[in-house]
Amino acid sequence: MAKETIASDIESQLVTTGQNQSAAAKLLEAYGVPFVEMGKLIEESKTITVTSEDDTEGMAKAKSIGKQLQQGRLAIKAKHDELKADSLAYGKAVDLIQRIALAEIEPAEAHLKLQEKFAETQQKLRHEERINERTSKLAQYVEDPSIYNYGDMADDAFQMLLEQVKAAHDLQAEKAEAAANAMLAAEAKAEAERKAAAEADRIAREKAEAEAVELRKKNEAIQAKAKAEKAAADKKLADAQKKIDEAKKAEDDRIAAEKAEAYRKAEEERLEALRIAEEAKKAAAAPDKDKLLEWVGSMDIVEPLLSTPEAKKVAARITGHLLASILTYQKLIEEL
């Protein structure tokens, strides 16, 4: 906007609100603000752009023009409040003047404020950049860098802090690695112990199974022998009975002496047969013994499926005790 157009632009827009040009000119005059000078200051503010911290002249000029624009803006606001009190229509016109004028002045004022504070802004930006950079470096070694007041530290002090937290981080990492290695070693040892226990359990189980098979074979041999002995005793008893019958038949044909002698011999044989029969009866009791032996021999020890080495060790001990008990029972039965 040209330096003379603030007032003319206000006049043209006032006309659209119902104010005639004369009334608009009087209203502008009532404001008492040198709009032409404000226009010049606005135009001049556009020429000020500070790009270096060394441009102290530009920043000072921005401050000076900004102050003048501020004074004009405050004067417009003060006059606005004074003139608006007259009437609503007049107030609308006053509002319009302020709105148009401030729309031009405030951006220029804000621009000049930025130019005035250029060095301070650059310092803040550098400070923020330094904080972000240091935060990024510390974040490599600590979870919460904000616990350290590193924003205003000197470079050598920050470097010392960075080295300290890095050393602490590396030490913690070494400890964590050592702990992990120790855990792996413990797991390997536990696995070796588990395998050793499983192997011992397998050997014990196989030994118990072999002993059980041997025991069954022994029981079968005992039972076979007992059956054979019983059959022999039965045959001997039958033969003795046959001889008695033959002796009795011959008694009628022999002389009394011979009959008596034969009877005596037969009686001896009968007694012998009775003795043998008695022994056979005793042998006949053997089936109970056989049953007991068969029963004990049928005590097949089957361990349950277990998952832990401790439980398997206990099961192996129980198996050993049971096998020892079976052997004891067999000795007791043999003594029947």
* pLDDT score at 3: 41
pLDDT given at position 1: 42
Q: Which residues contact 158 (CB under 8 A, 6 or more apart)?
A: 134, 150
pTM: 0.34
**How far lies 243's CA from each of 261, 265, 272, in Å?**
14, 10, 12
pLDDT computed for residue 178 by the predictor: 79
Residue 315, pLDDT score: 85
In 3D space, the residue among 217, 237, 329, 230 whose CA is nearest the CA of residue 286 turns out to be 230
**CA-to-CA dists, residue 188 to 16, 175, 184, 268, angstroms:** 94, 20, 6, 83
Closest by Cα among 43, 105, 44, 45 to 74: 105
Cβ neighbors of 125 (< 8 A, separation 6 or more) are: none
- At 86 the pLDDT is 64
Q: Determine the distance from the C-alpha atom of residue 323 to the mean position of all C-alpha atoms in its chain, rounded to a whole number.
A: 46
pLDDT at 59: 92
The reported pLDDT for the residue numbered 64 is: 92
For tokens 């659209």, the residue is: 16
Q: What is the pLDDT of residue 209?
A: 85
Determine the straight-line distance between the first and last CA of the chain, rounded to whole angstroms: 134
Domain ranges (residues) in the chain: 5-116, 183-334
Contact 19, 39 (CB under 8 A): no
- Run means of pLDDT, 10 residues per run, the chain, 336 residues: 60 74 76 79 90 92 92 86 71 80 85 85 82 82 74 78 82 78 82 84 84 83 82 81 76 69 78 74 65 76 83 87 84 82
What's the pLDDT at 286? 59
